[in-house]
Amino acid sequence: MPSEGKSNSRFERLRQEAIDLLEHNPDFATPAGSNVKELILELQVHQAELILQNEELKSSQERLAKVSSEYQALYDNAPCGYITLNPKGIITKINITALKLLEEHKIKIGISSLGGFIEPGWDDLYYASLKNAGMSGEKQSLNLKLKSDQNNPIWIQTEIEADRDAQNQVRQWKLIFIDISIKVAAEDALQESQERFKTLFHKTPIAYQSLDEQGRFIEVNDSWLETLGYHRDEVIGKSFADFLHPSMQNHFRDNFPRFKAVGEILGVEFDMLKKDGSNILVSFHGKIGKTNKGNFKQTHCVLSDITKQKEIEKTAKQLEIRLQNNRKLEAIGVLAGGIAHDFNNILHPIIGFSELTLKDLPEDSPLRENLEEILKGSERAAGLVRQILNFSSEKQKLPEPVFVQSIFKEAIKFLRSTIPSHIEFHQEISPEPLYILSDPIQLYEIAMNLCTNAFHAMEDKGGLLSVDIKEVDISSDQDGLFENRSGRYCKISVIDSGVCIPEHNINKIFDPYFTTKDVGKGSGLGLSVVHGIVKEHNGEILVKSRPGKTQFNVYFPIIDAPEQKDQKKTEFSESLGNERVLFVDDEPSIVMLVERSLEKLGYNTKGVTNSLEALQLFESNPDDFDIVISDVAMPKMVGTKFVEKIKNIKPDIPVMLCTGYSNLIEGKKASSLKVDDFLYKPISIKELSSKIRKIIDKSSKS
């Protein structure tokens, strides 16, 4: 309430004003008889009422000012922007949040248009939304991109509402918006991440697939589709089993529940069918995806095509087998060399002394027939040794024209002596010479393996082993192996009447290490080696088997017969002489034989069984000898080393080497050692004396 002094002051002021009014305007005078005191009291009451009303008005104004201030603070500092536009789109009111977002220094109230702050390309959407809000009377919601000097764009989500007057005309526009730049950036980053994942998922070189709980496809990536040749709509929703080789479908159905139970698979292999009908072998690695509650959701598997890998591994295995086989042949060659050397040392005196004895026997002696049979047997044995050496040689040979019939006849001759008599041999070999481009050793290996395999099939009960060799025209052949490869082929058939090959094994017989033979009778390598050799020579092999008859047919492309050079067979005759011969061999019987044989022909022969002693003998009297003949395989000092030292002592002396078996006796090696000639054991005296005569005569002329 106002103080009493103040009220009195106001009353006095009003009284004075009233007096002045009455003096100048008598009409306002109080009617006669009015009580002045009553009038004063009434005036005082009115005055009090005015004072109270004035105080109430002042209080209301203060409250209004406070509310207005609070509203303005709320308006300015709201987390969203508020903008009011006049009908022409000019900003008439804006809060602080909007000012900060639109860059306050660029805003001029009553002048600036909001459209000037919108990124070009988005302003058309803004103006269209203003128009729609004005026409429809409904709020318009939209996202707008604002201009920004910063690297990061500014995005707002706004609502536009039209405020109309009584005539339904737009008085102003009200805009409310919030900054969604972070949200848009996050959505863009998420979308970019999703695009990267999608690209990675589909373009990764690893094929991926996902199955539902029933084994149906949920998703596959592009690599999966490229690997198998399908389109996505041909796969999604289909059962995985439908894409497997029929032999694998039950396997998958039986094991898929186990996969779901265990939760992981590693390296599981399946034969799958491509769209073109071909098979590929794939390896799977996968895990089970689960829900938050731990229930099955889907599978996650990657697969890789290992078809070529398996082929490479198979080829590598075959090469390994060939390498092992070659090593075995090398070992056999070394063993055969040792055996040949010792065997030749045995045969040499048998043949030589038999020849000497025959010379001393009368023509009508009954012992001549016995000795002649001994010679025949010895010569056959010598031929057998040469055969072993030829086909067990560790020397690698290049393909050359090979006379097929000759190789097989020699192999059959060798096998005939080892296969029991209850197995009968039958040959139907074309007399027309057939040549193929091959390594004779490999062709011999085919003959031995196929015939041995046939022998094992008849080992218990005996039977007939047939070898047929002939020329065929593949264009008329019915085996169906040669596509677009018609021509002349050498067909080699090895047929036995023994136990047939079971049908379930017929496709496995060429696999390495596959064998049905008892332990010790087969390693499972023979037929795989044959298959490898045939394929290397661009040939084909086919097997047919039924009870009582199994037939292997091998085909090799025929080549033209090589030109035959005129070769006159060297005829040796016993040549007489009186030269001095130093003969060195570690076998006393051979030394004795050569000494007696050459002495009968007039040669003065000194035989020595120790190469070191022979060297000392020559060093002491080099002019006592006209020719030196030495064995190659000698203890203490090999023949080649012995010859080298002899040549160092007397370079012009004729030298001859003889051996049962050695890789050292080759043209180039003999030439480097300056060896005049060499012979293979067992040596006939006729050949030895003839070569001695030839070498000495040639040496004396030079």
Span 309-349, pLDDT tens digits = 888 888 888 778 777 766 776 776 677 667 776 777 788 78
- Residue 429 and residue 493: Cα distance in Å, rounded? 10
Stretch 479-495: mean pLDDT: 79
As a whole number, mean pLDDT of residues 392-416 equals: 75
For the ranges 206-215, 468-477, 484-493, the one whose mean pLDDT is highest: 206-215
Indicate the Cα dihedral angle 523, 527, 529, 531, nearest 10°. -160
**Which residues, 6 or more positions from 646, have their beta carbon under 8 angstroms from its beta carbon?**
615, 618, 628, 653, 655
Cα-flanking dihedrals φ and ψ of residue 648, to 5°?
-65, -30
**Are 474 and 440 within 8 A, CB to CB?**
no
Query: Do 46 and 53 contact (CB within 8 A), yes or no?
Result: no
Q: What is the pLDDT of residue 674?
A: 75
Tell me what pLDDT residue 568 has: 42
Whether residue 518 has pLDDT greater than 60: no
- CA atoms of 525 and 199, how far apart (whole Å): 49
Q: What is the mean pLDDT of residues 197-219?
A: 85
Work out the burial of residue 339: count CB atoms within 10 Å of its CB; fewer than 13 is exposed, 13-18 middle, 19 or more buried. Answer: middle
Q: Nearest to residue 445, comparing CAs of 491, 488, 414?
A: 414
pLDDT digits 0-9 by tens, 12-55:
665 666 666 656 665 555 554 456 667 777 776 677 667 777 77
Q: pLDDT tens for residues 614-629?
A: 999 999 999 999 999 9
Measured CA to CA in angstroms, residue 130 lies from 109, 268, 280, 660 at distances of 19, 64, 64, 114
Query: Residues 591, 630: contact at Cβ < 8 Å?
Result: no
Report the SS3 class of residue 579.
coil
> Is the peptide bond between 682 and the residue preceding it cis, with omega within 30 degrees of 0?
yes
Residue 695 · residue 627 · CB < 8 Å: yes
- Local confidence band at 397 (pLDDT 50, 70, 90 cut-offs): low
pLDDT at residue 138, as a whole number: 87
Residue-level pLDDT at 582: 94
pLDDT of residue 389: 61
Is residue 668 scored above 50 in pLDDT? no
Mean pLDDT of 107-115: 81
Please list, in sequence order, all residues whose beta carbon lies within 8 angstroms of the beta carbon of residue 279, skipping any fewer than 6 positions away: 245, 271, 272, 273, 307
The conformational region for residue 195 under phi > 0 = left, psi -120 to 50 = alpha, else beta, is: alpha
Residue pair 607/592 in contact by the 8 Å Cβ criterion: yes
514 vs 571, higher pLDDT? 514
Residue 413, H or E segment: helix 404-416
Average pLDDT over residues 71-86: 77
Contact between residue 256 and residue 269 where contact means Cβ atoms under 8 Å apart:
no
Distance (Å, whole) CA 80 – CA 529: 86
What is the predicted pLDDT for the residue at 572?
47
Q: What angle do CA 346, 350, 354 make, to 5 degrees?
A: 170
Q: Confidence band (pLDDT; 50, 70, 90) for 567?
A: very low
> Given the structure tokens 């060499």, which residue do they identify?
678
SS3 state of residue 668: helix
Residue given tokens 């006939």 in the structure block: 684
Please tell me the pTM assigned to this model.
0.42
Q: Which 3 state secondary structure label does DSSP give 586?
A: coil
Residue 493: the pLDDT is: 93
Cβ-proximal residues to 443 (8 Å cutoff; 6+ apart), any chain:
402, 404, 407, 436
Lowest mean pLDDT among 95-109, 223-237, 272-286, 642-656: 95-109
Residues 548, 549, 551, CA angle at the centre, nearest 5°? 165
Q: Count Cα neighbours of 224 within 13 Å in the Cβ-side half-sphere.
A: 24
Determine the pLDDT at residue 520: 41
Q: Based on C-alpha coordinates, what's the Rg of the chain?
A: 59
Q: Which two tokens stand for residue 687?
A: 């050949």
Side chain identity, residue 56? E
Q: How far apart are CA 191 and CA 533, in angstroms?
A: 60
Backbone φ, ψ for residue 624 (5° rounding): -80, -5
pLDDT (tens digit, 9 = 90+) per residue, 416-474? 777 787 888 888 988 888 998 887 778 888 888 888 888 888 888 888 999 999 998 88
What does the pLDDT read at residue 13?
A: 64
**What burial class does residue 155 get, using C-beta atoms within 10 Å of its C-beta: 0-12 exposed, 13-18 middle, 19+ buried?**
buried
Phi, then psi, of 285 in degrees rounded to 5: -130, 130
> What is the distance between the alpha carbons of residues 346 and 157, in angstroms, rounded to a whole number?
111
Region 259-277: what's the mean pLDDT?
89
Please write the tens of the pLDDT for every residue from 116-141: 888 888 888 888 888 888 888 888 88
What is the C-alpha separation between 247 and 261, in angstroms, rounded?
24
pLDDT above 80 (res 409):
yes
Cα–Cα dist 490/128, whole Å:
90
In which order are the strands placed within the sheet that holds 463-473? 423-429, 463-473, 488-496, 549-557, 540-546
Start-to-end CA distance of the chain, whole Å, equals: 164
Q: What are the tens digits of pLDDT across the range 351-387?
A: 888 888 887 888 888 888 888 888 777 776 776 666 5
Judged by average pLDDT, the poorest of 77-81, 309-313, 561-565 is 561-565
pLDDT of residue 512: 61
If you average pLDDT over each of 146-155, 530-539, 646-655, which comes out highest?
646-655
Whole-angstrom distance, CA of residue 616 vs CA of residue 611? 9
392 — pLDDT class (breaks 50, 70, 90): low
- DSSP H stretches of helix in 513-666: 526-536, 588-600, 611-620, 639-649
Whether 584 shows a pLDDT value over 90: the answer reads yes
454 burial (CB, 10 Å; 0-12 / 13-18 / 19+) is buried
Amino acid (1-letter code) at residue 570: T
Tell me the average pLDDT of the chain. 80
Would you state the pLDDT for residue 667? Answer: 46
Residue 666 pLDDT more than 70?
A: no
